[in-house]
A and B are shown apart, each in its own frame.
Chain A
Amino acid sequence: MTDVAIVGVGCTKMDEHWTKSLRDLSTEAGALAVKDAGLDGKDIQALYVGNMSSGRFIGQEHLAALAADQAGLIPIPATRCEAACASGSLAFRKACLAIKSGEYDIIMAAGGEKMTDIKGPEAIAALMGAADQEWESAIGLTFTGLYALMARAYMNTYGLTRDELSQVPIKNHFHGLKNPLAQFRFEVTAEQVARSAMIADPLRLLDCSPITDGAAAVILVSDRVADRFKNPIWVKGSGQASGTLALHDRPSLTEIPATQIAAKRAYDQAGVGPQDIEVAEVHDCFSIEEILAYEDLGFAPKGKGKDLLLNKDTWIGGRLPVNTDGGLKLGHPVGATGIKQLIEIVRQLRGDAYNQVKDPRIGLTHNIGGTGATALVHILGKER
C-alpha cells in the first residue's frame, strides 16, 4: 500500500480581501505551497480543489479548471470537491486516495472561498445551502441558529454555562495572537463574549466564525518520491463519514455521529487512539462545536468536554493543545478551512508553527460540513 506525505504548504491571510479575487487567492496559496515543497509547478500531476459555493458567492462554477488555468497548471486533471465546510478536507482525502491508487505521485490539494463579494444576509443564505433547503433554510434557520439549537440542548443536558462556553473563544483568540494569517488578532474576556451581540440565542457574535476570504494549498506525494523532499509529514489515517443532512433528523442534538465514525476509521488506520494525539485542529465554527468535537473525537467523556478547557489541557502548553492557530473563529473561508487545518498540523509536526507546541509527533484534524452531515478526520505523523 502506498503511503502519502505532505511536503509543501501555502496559505493566504484569512481576511476580507477587498482587492483580491478567488483567482488571486488560490494562485497565491498554490504558489506558496509549490515553493515550500521546493518544486516547480510542472511537477504537479493533478489538482483537487475544495470549494463550497463559488456559484452563490461569486457566480463562478467550474472552479477546478479555472484554478488550474490561473496557476499555469493546465492541462493536468483538475477536480472540484464539495462537502460544504468540509470541502477542503474532502479535496485532500480525494488527493490521498488518488496517490494511493498508484496513478499519481505528486498532487496539489487546495481549498478556497471568496465570501465577501455579496452582502451578509445573502452570504448567510448561501451558507444555508449546506443545510436542508426544503425545511431548514425555508423556515429561516441560519447556521448560527442550527448550532444554537445544539448549544441550548447541550447546556440544558450537561449544565454547561455561558462562561464555560466562552472558554472556547477566549482560548482560540489567545492562540491566534501569534498567527500573522489570522483575520482577527486580539484577546477576548468572558465578559466581552457574554456582552457581544446576540446572533442566534444562546450564541453570540464572539461564538461565531466570521465571513472570510482565503485559500490554502498543500502538496501531497507518494512514498515512491517522498525521500526527495525534506521534512515530509505522513498521512497516517483518513476517515470520512456522513450523517443526516437535517439536524432535526438526528435523535441527539448533543453529539455528531459522523465525527465519531470518521474518527474511529482514522484512528484504526493510523493504529493510534485519542490518547496518542499531541496537537489537534478541530472544527470550531461555533464555540459549542469545539466542545462537541472533544467528546466525539474521544478526547473527553460525554458531557465532560468543558473540563479540557477549564483545566487548560487544550491551551498551548497543555497536554493536548487544540486550534493553536486560533481556529475558525479567526477566519473561516469555508472551502479553505480543511486545508488550513492540515497546514497548521504539518507546521506543528515540522516544528515551524507560529505558536509551536513542544515536539509533537502526531496530530489530528477534524473538519465537518453543515451540522455534521459530512465529517472528515485526518491523522498526521512525523514518522512514516
Chain B
Amino acid sequence: MESAPLYWRLKRQKYNLIGTRCVTCGESFFPPRSFCPTCRRRGRIEEFQFSGKGEITSYTIIKSAPKGFEQFAPYTVAIIKLDEGALISGQVVQGTPATIGGRVVPVFRKMYEEGKEGIIHYGIKWQVDGTAAEK
C-alpha cells in the first residue's frame, strides 16, 4: 500500500521494534496493542523494546509476489517467536537458509519502493544467526 502517513506512524515498530507490554499480566505485544485482550480494562499498557532476537517457527519462500514486491521474489518469510514472547512475521534475508527452530537476529533493510519515483519504505528483516556476524 502506498502511503506516507501510514508508514510514518508505524516507524517506531518498523525501525526500532518498539512494541507494548501489559504491566498487569506481563504479556508483551508485537506489533504493539493499545489494549490488553486478557486484562481488558484492568490492563495497563506501556511501551516495550524488543531485542528482535528469536526463533523461526515456520517459513515459506514466496515465488509469486504481490504488487510492489515482484522485484524481490523469491524471498523468504517466516514467523518468528521473539525472545521476549511475541510472535511476528518477517522476511528472512539471504545467507544461511531458514529452518524451523533456527535462531535469527534483526537487520535493517529496504521493505519496498512505491515505484521508481515514490517513497522507499525501510524496516526490520531477520537474518539467520551466524551469517549476521552479530553479537
Q: In this complex, what residue of A is CB-closest to B70?
A: A121
Q: Which residue of A lies closest to B6 (CB)?
A: A134
Known: A135-B31, A137-B66, A200-B63. A153 touches B58 (CB 8 A): yes
A230 to B91, CA, bound (A): 56
Whether a CB of chain A sits under 8 angstroms from the CB of B35 is no
What is the CB-to-nearest-CB distance from A150 to chain B, in angstroms, rounded to a whole number?
7
Check A149/B58 contact, CB under 8 A, given A139-B91, A140-B75.
Answer: yes
Count of chain B residues with Cβ under 8 Å from any Cβ of A?
Answer: 36
Q: Is A161 an interface residue (CB 8 A)?
A: no
Give the residue among A140, A199, A251 with the most B Cβ atoms within 10 A. Answer: A140
Q: Are B89 and A136 in contact (CB under 8 A)?
A: yes
- A152-B100, A248-B88 given; A199·B63 CB < 8 A: yes
Q: Is the CB of A142 within 8 A of B91?
A: no
Interface check B59, CB cutoff 8 A: yes
Asked if A128 is at the interface (CB within 8 A of a chain B CB), the reply is: yes
**B90 — which chain A residues lie within 8 A by C-beta?**
139
Q: Which of B6, B7, B57, B91 contacts A140 (CB 8 A)?
A: B91
Q: Which residues does chain B contribute within 8 Å of A138, judged by CB atoms?
A: 1, 7, 111, 121, 123
Whether B59 contacts A152 by the Cβ 8 Å rule is yes
Which of B58, B88, B91 is within 8 Å of A152, CB to CB?
Answer: B58
Q: Measured between alpha carbons, how far is A120 from B79 in the docked complex, in Å?
A: 25
Please give, as numbers and ranges, the residues of chain B lying within 8 Å of A272 by CB-CB distance. none
**B135 interface residue per 8 A CB criterion:** no
Chain B contact residues: over half helix, strand or loop, or mixed? Answer: strand
Q: Of B31, B59, B60, B62, which contacts A134 at CB under 8 A?
A: B31
Contacts of B121 in A (CB 8 A): 138
Interface residue range, chain A: 35 or more
Q: Specify which chain A residues have a CB less than 8 angstroms from the CB of B59 in the assembled complex.
A: 149, 152
Instruction: For the complex formed, measure the closest distance between the CB of B53 and the CB atoms of chain A, giving whole angstroms.
Output: 16
The one of B10, B58, B64, B91 that contacts A156, using a Cβ cutoff of 8 Å: B58
B87 and A249 contacting across the interface, CB-CB below 8 Å:
yes
A137 vs B3: C-alpha distance when bound (angstroms): 14
Chain B's nearest CB lies how many Å from the CB of A376?
22
Contact B89 A247 (CB under 8 A): yes
Q: Per-residue CB proximity of B70-98 to A under 8 Å, as 1/0? A: 10100101111000000111110000000
Is B68 an interface residue when CB atoms closer than 8 A count as contact? Answer: yes
Interface residues of A in 50-104 (CB under 8 A from B): none
Q: Name the contact of A124 in the complex, choosing from B7, B57, B66, B80 (C-beta under 8 A).
A: B66
Q: Mark B5-18, 1 if CB is under 8 A from A, else 0.
A: 01100100000000
* Interface status of A125 (Cβ within 8 A of chain B): yes
Q: Does B65 contact A (CB under 8 A)?
A: yes
Report B18 CB to chain A, min CB distance, Å: 14
Let me know if B61 and A200 touch, CB within 8 A. Answer: yes
List chain A residues, Cβ under 8 A from B65. Answer: 121, 124, 140, 142
Chain A residue contacts of B75, Cβ below 8 A: 140
Taking Cβ atoms with an 8 Å cutoff, the residues of A that contact B are: 120-122, 124-125, 128, 132-142, 144-145, 148-150, 152-153, 156, 197-203, 246-251, 253
List chain B positions with a Cβ less than 8 A from chain A.
1, 6-7, 10, 31, 57-70, 72, 75, 77-80, 87-91, 100, 111-112, 121, 123, 125
Using A145-B60, A198-B63 as known contacts, list a sample of 10 further A-B pairs with CB atoms less than 8 Å apart, ordered by residue number in A: A121-B68, A124-B65, A140-B72, A152-B100, A153-B57, A199-B64, A202-B60, A248-B79, A250-B87, A253-B79
